[in-house]
Amino acid sequence: MRRFTILMAFLLIACSLALHAQGTQIKGKVTSSEDGSTLPGATVMVKGTTNVTVTDADGNYTLNVSPEAAALAVSFVGMKTKEVPIAGQTQINVVLEPELKNIEEVVVTALGISRDKKALGYSVQEVKSDDITKTVNANVINALGGKIAGVQVTNSSGIAGGSSYVTIRGVNSITQNNQPLFVVDGVPIDNSSNYSGNPDDGTNNLTNGVDYSNRAIDLNADDIESVSVLKGGAATALYGLRAGNGVIVITTKKGSNTGGLKNANVTFSSSMSVDEVNQLPGLQMTYGQGEGGEWLGPDNANGNRRLSWGPRLDTMRYDGSSNYKFDVNGKLVSQNSSSATAKKIITYNNPDLFFKKGYTYNNSISISGGNDVSNIYASYSNLKTDGIIPNNKYAKNSFMLSAQTKVSKRLTVTGDANYINSNSTKDQQGSNVSGVMLGLMRTPPTFNDAAGYQFPDGTQRNFRGGIGYDNPFWTVNKNIYNDNINRLIGNLGLIYKISEWANINYKLGTDVYSDNRKMNFDINSRAYPSGQVSTDNHFNRDLNSDLMLNLDQKIMNDFEAKLILGQNMYQHYDEQWYIQGDQLTIPGYFQLNNAASILAKNIVGEKRTAALFGDLGLSFKNMLFYDGTYRREWSTTLPKGANNFGYYSNSLGFVFTELPGLKSNPVLTFGKIRASLSRVANDAPVYSTFTTYDAGFYQNGYISGISFPFNGTSGFQVGDGLGNNNLKPELLNSTEIGTELKFFENRVGIDFTYYKNHNTDLILSAPVSGATGYVSEVRNAAEMENKGVELVLNLVPVKIKSFEWDLTLNFTKNVNKVLQLAPGVDNITLGGFTGTDIRAVKGYSYATIFGQDFLRDKKGNIIIDDVPAYISGPDTTINTNYGYPVFDPNNKPIPLGSTLPDWTLGITNSFTVYDLSFSFLLDIKHGGKMWNGTVGVMNYFGTGIDTKDRDLNHVFSGTPGHIVLDNAGNSTYDADGNDIVATSGTKNMLPVKRDENWYTGNGTSFGGGPTSQEVEDASWVRLKEISVSYKLPNTLVEKTKFIKSFSVYFSGKNLWLSTKYSGVDPETSLYGASSSQGIDYFNMPGTKTYTFGIKAMF
């Protein structure tokens, strides 16, 4: 379109030159109000005439006008046309404002090909630079949440450098990756979150350790020009393998034509942010450490001092003993005790004493400039965070260089190189006795964790006298995890123009990084009391080569064809070196030479693929668009002789407002309907076609077990996973229909999409009966479906001079269903704990929580035990469960809800008044369950807020009843294996206490009760982003001569959160960026952030 405009302009110039021989000459420069850059190719026209010129490379124009000319109309693609009265002036400089909603929007599609959005038969949504940098996000993925329909982002925790998980249109694979492919400047990059720990433990390592970053965190938000999200198969089919989960296409900033480097734009931005914990589980402050109402201090080894089921603290006093090493005030005694002093008990809110304000400093400088032959963009950014947890740090340094030059009339060379160094220090989390939250939230209110974490003899000071769990201050000071990443992402491109309608494009890209980690546990830490040090080095290398022939030809009137023929080669290599040293001798000295035993592992992964592809685009009258793609792929991970496969996409777009009767309609400005059908395929995981032997390793879920070599003897065992030499690619079939409508000169815009993805032959590591001799087999067996709607609504409710209100809604609803797993396999555990699993189960939504529930009657009422006592002959046993819900631990686990949301809605409001702009983003997630193991355990321990009411009567809602027993006293079961229950059908009225017996028993899953009590709704409404920015008026800026633009801004993230979830911020995941979302077990809390920053251009 833009080219067409220029062409038209030239034609008009030719005409005008003929018509106008004489007149006044007007000169001037056309610039953009956005960044002050000059606009080459802008059209300058005398209003109401055909007298037209275009600006040159520096944005300058010269136009001869007749004396009667009154005004100039200046226009540029993507900018609002501006009219300027001539009024006798000979020098007229014009500043153009960007056009608000441009129908001729150009978006980046597969393989970095820019397309008119109008021509697409599928949905693509973009986020621009400004929307990414409005709030500071070390992990750029977080900037996408709420802004794009169909995209769900979960930030695993508020820890600096933590991971984020992103999915597009639900999940597609059972046990393979479910996250989209990330492509930067045409090069696929790695977004793994490698985890540490003995590799033999596999994904068990995810429930402990630290929140390992996902590698997209390395991208520097300030360098990003736009993020284009390709959602469905039709959009991604050209990418082929790995693109089944959608593609996030990132385009980095490029040099602009500033008419020479001396005029280059230098942009500087700087911000400081403050982070705070945004939500924590509640704590009771009424009762002390101990059990049965008795105080048991940290030094009391004879009782269950891990609990906080001790005495009411208002009945206790300190005894004033001065030699009590756990508390300067002495031990706790009853207020009636002879040794009681007058000093009342102090309670400590340990989380308040532990968490601190976090600070992030983000500084970035870039230079962008060039002429019409060459241009360059270079930047340096530094982001540095001190987290909300003591000693949690994250720092990132990013250097970016991007250049392109026309070597000859036909050949253009482009290149991008991005070097990133990032490093972090993180703290232990999750199901790990050295985990920060685990020790912190179990600490009784009478123990001050902050009063020291180590005694002079080197032993640990914690509330259990050195055993149990690490004092959180101990673990953050002694058990340090560090990582250091060095990464280079780059590409070299050649564009050879064969003719006006044909060019050849080649791009070679690479992504290479090393991730060097060290994880320490000091002697006397609880996870490894004898100390452990491990180094874990990951190396990753991806090479990608794309060769494309682009043909673009108008074949006859109204009919245009584009054809791309291409070839792709891709190589992946990763390697891990894990060395674990146990049993340290010297405390605090973390080197492998301090370890008495060493375990070393080296793991390699390698694959290659090659592909041929084609893309045919046809358009008719700029109204009807067809696009078809085909790709044939070869992969090394598939069995010999069956290692290639083809797939395709077909899409159609029909812009019905181009029809003669509908054109230039005052109400309906633009209307399009679109439809597509596609199939994308995915190859197998590496090394899954053969069965192998593994180094001997035995563990049983409770203990870390035995790893070979054993006392110097090597040992191997038959591998647990059965290889499969009949693997085929998995197929992701999608259908998409949609419409795009714009009304009232773009004041109202609607973009609606319905899609259905039906995935078959999904490869999964299917569990097999252990009796086969194996644990699992890689198979093409599963089938899954995602159906959903996406609705994007753009409104401009108010648009008057100098005031504008924009409203954008992004609504997403996705319904996922597992249709089939493998023959005889009904469910697959994705993650979780004993008694609480996240599973994929046939007939249910993926990632459904499975666990046990109390017994219920047919109406769903909980059965409340109505048997006061058991009588057996002469013996009468009081039933301690009388009045409490009935639980049968032998009953099988049942589905307790999907962790996937029902729907999400992002609402962005932005207001512009003169140079002040204000915007906020409300993020609404409805539905989706979370297992709140944290609060369950806290209630077991008596520290949770629910246990405050331990002395109050409570009536459980439900109906009185009991399990029917047979003559021998055994439970009786129906044909399905469920207990037979007798109920009265009335409403339970019996008051009981939710006391220590309850919470350490059936009242929590930790005590052996049902999981269902801890499954909570993780819906939320949050003020995800808010920002106010003020841009100095151009008139003021121009006076400085050297500043081109200057703005200051304040922004906030998560400043308000409304949720029923009783734990930390429900946007959390113990398993980090992996498919087993929905587990909260002593996860690190989330944060809210305040940022103040400036942006200046010189």
By CB under 8 A, the residues from 665 to 694 that bind other proteins are 686-687, 689-694
Q: Where are the alpha helices (DSSP H) in 499-649?
A: none
Contact residue for other proteins among 4, 455, 559, 716 (CB under 8 A): 716
Q: Minimum distance from CB of 828 to other proteins (Å)?
A: 9
Number of H helices, E strands in the chain: 9, 61
Separation between Cα atoms, residue 623 and residue 658, nearest integer Å: 6
CB 655 within 8 A of CB 623: yes
Question: Exactly one of 603, 662, 869, 913 binds other proteins (CB under 8 A); which one?
Answer: 603
Indicate whether 724 belongs to the interface with other proteins (CB under 8 A): yes
Under the binding rule (CB under 8 A), the answer on residue 870 touching other proteins is yes
Name the one range near other proteins by CB under 8 A: 2-10, 312-320, 707-715, 1031-1039: 707-715
Across 196-212, b (16+ Cβ under 10 Å) vs e yields: bbbbbbeebebbbbbbb
Binding segment for other proteins (CB under 8 A), chosen from 150-158, 657-665, 734-742, 817-825, is 817-825
- Stretch 83-122 residues interacting with other proteins (CB under 8 A): none
Task: Assess 699 for contact with other proteins (CB under 8 A).
Answer: yes
Task: Tell me how far the alpha carbon of residue 627 is from its chain's centroid.
Answer: 31
Asked if 705 is part of the footprint of other proteins (rule: CB under 8 A), the reply reads yes
Work out whether 201 is an interface residue with other proteins (CB under 8 A).
Answer: no
Contact between 471 and other proteins per CB under 8 A = no
Q: Does residue 529 touch other proteins according to CB under 8 A?
A: yes
CA-based R_g, the chain, Å: 33
Which residues inside 246-275 make contact with other proteins, applying CB under 8 A? none
Kindly tell me which of 702 and 1042 has the beta carbon lying closer to other proteins. Answer: 702
- Of 770 and 1033, which has the nearer Cβ to other proteins? 770
The correct pick among 246, 351, 468, 788 for binding other proteins (CB under 8 A) is 468
In whole angstroms, what is the distance from residue 38 CA to residue 44 CA? 14
Instruction: Identify each DSSP E strand in 941-1019 by its residue range.
Output: 953-955, 959-963, 981-983, 991-993, 1015-1017
Considering the complex, what minimum distance in angstroms separates the CB of residue 692 from other proteins?
4
Q: Is 967 a binder of other proteins (CB under 8 A)? A: no
Residue with smaller CB distance to other proteins, 359 or 589: 589
Q: Looking at residues 609 to 648 of the shown chain, list those that interact with other proteins (rule: CB under 8 A).
A: 609-610, 612, 634-640, 643
In the complex, what is the shortest distance from the CB of residue 890 to other proteins, in angstroms, rounded to a whole number?
Answer: 7
Q: Could you tell me which stretch among 492-500, 740-748, 906-914, 1011-1019 binds other proteins (CB under 8 A)?
A: 492-500
By the rule CB under 8 A, 707 interacts with other proteins: yes
Nearest distance from C-beta of residue 612 to other proteins, angstroms: 8
Q: Is 1041 in the site for other proteins (CB under 8 A)?
A: no
Residues in 749-768 at the binding interface with other proteins, rule: CB under 8 A: 767-768
Does 555 engage in binding with other proteins (CB under 8 A)?
yes
- Closest by CA position to 1021, among listed 1051, 1065, 1062: 1065
Helical segments of 155-300, H only: 233-236
Among 78-86, 170-178, 717-725, 914-922, which window interacts with other proteins (CB under 8 A)?
A: 717-725
Dist. CA 217–CA 194, nearest whole Å: 13
78, two tokens: 């993507």
Give the number of residues in contact with other proteins, rule: CB under 8 A.
110
Question: Site mask, other proteins, residues 936-965, x = CB under 8 A?
Answer: -----------------------------x
**CA torsion sign, 685 to 691 to 692 to 694?**
positive
Choosing from 660, 823, 860, 874, the residue that interacts with other proteins (CB under 8 A) is 823
Does position 713 interact with other proteins (CB under 8 A)? The reply is yes
Residues 6+ apart with CB under 8 A from 450: 348, 350, 353, 354, 473
- Measured from the CB atom, the residue of 145 and 430 that comes closer to other proteins is 430
Binding to other proteins by residue 719, rule CB under 8 A? yes
CA 1064 to chain centre: 17
**Tokens 């830490």 -> residue:** 525
C-beta of 771: minimal distance to other proteins in Å?
A: 4
Strand partners, 54: 43
CB of 252 to other proteins, least distance (A): 28
The count of residues in the chain is 1098
Among positions 554, 621, 987, 1060, the unique one binding other proteins when judged by CB under 8 A: 554
Using CA atoms, how far apart are residues 983 and 317, in angstroms rounded to an integer?
Answer: 48
- Candidates 99, 104, 105, 720; binder of other proteins (CB under 8 A) is 720
535 scored as a contact of other proteins (CB under 8 A): no
593 binds other proteins (CB under 8 A): no
CA trace torsion 826, 829, 830, 835 (10° rounding)? 140
Q: Does residue 722 touch other proteins according to CB under 8 A?
A: yes
Residue 951 makes CB contacts below 8 A (sequence gap 6+) with: 312, 993, 995
**Which residues between 23 and 62 bind other proteins (CB under 8 A)?**
none
Give least dist CB 714 to other proteins, A: 6
Angle at 949 between CA 944 and CA 951, to 5 degrees: 125
Q: Judged by CB, which is closer to other proteins: 512, or 547?
A: 547
Please give the structure tokens belonging to residue 72.
């100039």
Asked if residue 827 binds other proteins (CB under 8 A), the reply is yes
Q: Which is nearer to other proteins, 177 or 724 (CB)?
A: 724
Site string for other proteins, 987-1006 (x = CB under 8 A): -------------------x
Burial group, residue 457, by CB count within 10 angstroms (0-12, 13-18, 19+): exposed
Tell me if 408 contacts other proteins by CB under 8 A. Answer: no
Q: Which is nearer to other proteins, 88 or 712 (CB)?
A: 712
Largest CA distance in the chain: 125
Tell me which stretch binds other proteins (CB under 8 A): 15-23, 119-127, 712-720, 898-906: 712-720
Least separation in angstroms between CB 386 and other proteins:
33
Does 1050 bind other proteins (CB under 8 A)? Our answer is no
Show contacts with other proteins in window 1006-1025 (CB under 8 A). 1006, 1008
Is there binding between residue 825 and other proteins (CB under 8 A)? yes
* Rounded (10°) CA dihedral 577, 581, 587, 591: -40
- Specify the long-range contacts of residues 952-956, CB closer than 8 Å, at least 24 apart: 952/993, 953/991, 953/992, 953/993, 954/991, 954/992, 954/993, 954/994, 955/988, 955/989, 955/990, 955/991, 955/992, 956/862, 956/864, 956/883, 956/884, 956/885, 956/988, 956/992
Amino acid residing at 414 = T
Assess 588 for contact with other proteins (CB under 8 A).
no
Alpha-helix runs per DSSP H in 883-974: 933-941
- Return d(Cα 872, Cα 1041) in angstroms, integer: 98
* Interface with other proteins (CB under 8 A), residue from 315, 459, 890, 1058: 890
- In the set 504, 815, 819, 990, which binds other proteins (CB under 8 A)? 504
- Least distance from other proteins to the Cβ atom of residue 594, Å: 14
CA 1025 to chain centre: 16
- State yes or no: residue 876 binds other proteins (CB under 8 A): no
384 is a site residue for other proteins (CB under 8 A): no
CB of 566 to other proteins, least distance (A): 9
Which residues have C-beta within 8 Å of that of residue 388, sequence separation ≥ 6? 158, 159, 160, 275, 276, 277, 355, 356, 357, 358, 1085, 1087
Q: Does 583 bind other proteins (CB under 8 A)?
A: yes
Q: Which is nearer to other proteins, 458 or 773 (CB)?
A: 773
Q: Closest by alpha carbon to 162, among 148, 132, 141, 183? A: 141
Closest CA to 181 of 194, 164, 168: 168
